[in-house]
A and B are shown apart, each in its own frame.
Chain A
Amino acid sequence: NAGVTQTPKFRVLKTGQSMTLLCAQDMNHEYMYWYRQDPGMGLRLIHYSVGEGTTAKGEVPDGYNVSRLKKQNFLLGLESAAPSQTSVYFCASSYVETQYFGPGTRLLVL
């Protein structure tokens, strides 16, 4: 099993550009999450999903949108990137309490 995978691994954007980060899991988990991690801080929850077709806002949702059209995939979109969105983005999935994380996507917005 691949677990949780993220695409791409690294991306550079210019301010105002858009992009989509893809998260895929092969563990048949209902719950999926998107976090951002900034230096010196823990992970902050952006959006999450409790099942296919559902999404909800987390702690820092502004500037991001998500979709969960298929159970195994959770997409994070940036419609108009800003330098403040420079960060490392992690996707996670869970069945109950324990979360399984992907390797992360490093995003630089210039």
Chain B
Amino acid sequence: SQQGEEDPQALSIQEGENATMNCSYKTSINNLQWYRQNSGRGLVHLILIRSNEREKHSGRLRVTLDTSKKSSSLLITASRAADTASYFCATDPREYGNKLVFGAGTILRVKS
């Protein structure tokens, strides 16, 4: 069963706007990661946030983690058409070893 659930399932915005995606999970984790998948391609790692971190930045990406609510958010600022992709959160449950559990993803479309 999937650990992470993304919200919304799909998001359509104009270029230059910010995009926010949310992820909720069920069990205690070591870390949470976000991946991007362009159409027809493999997943690419974006950012990792550890369970003892609350916020992390990487370029135009900002990730937050609230372990008390078992949720995370990914914010993409000043979006570009090239950001159009599916975004997945992946958790590393503490009892699961060095394996990831992926959510169903958010499809982001950035219109130019």
Q: Which stretch (A61-69, A75-83, A98-106) binds chain B?
A: A98-106
Pick from A40, A43, A48, A96: contact of B43, CB below 8 A: A43
Q: Is the CB of A99 within 8 A of B104?
A: no
Q: Given A41-B104, A42-B2, A42-B88, are A101 and B44 also a contact pair (CB < 8 Å)?
A: yes
Q: Is the CB of A103 within 8 A of B102?
A: no
User: Chain A residues with Cβ under 8 A from B98's Cβ?
Assistant: 31, 50, 94, 96-97
Q: How many residues of A contact B (CB 8 A)?
A: 26
Pick from A45, A96, A98, A104: contact of B99, CB below 8 A: A45
Q: Does B100 contact A (CB under 8 A)?
A: yes
Question: Which residue of B31, B45, B103 has the most chain A CB atoms within 10 A of its CB atom?
Answer: B45
Pick from B33, B40, B102: contact of A98, CB below 8 A: B33
Interface residues on B, range: 20 to 34
Query: In chain A, what residue has the closest Cβ to B44?
Result: A101
Give residues in A with beta carbon < 8 Å to B: 4, 31, 33, 35, 40-45, 48, 50, 58-59, 90, 92, 94, 96-104
**New A-B contacts (15) at CB < 8 Å, excluding given A58-B99, A59-B1, A98-B48:** A41-B104, A42-B2, A42-B88, A42-B102, A42-B105, A45-B99, A50-B98, A90-B43, A92-B43, A97-B48, A97-B92, A97-B98, A98-B33, A99-B100, A101-B35
Sampled A-B contacts (27; CB under 8 Å): A31-B98, A35-B102, A40-B104, A41-B2, A41-B104, A42-B2, A42-B4, A42-B104, A43-B88, A44-B102, A50-B98, A59-B1, A90-B42, A90-B43, A97-B30, A97-B33, A97-B98, A98-B33, A98-B48, A99-B43, A99-B100, A100-B45, A101-B35, A101-B43, A102-B42, A104-B41, A104-B42
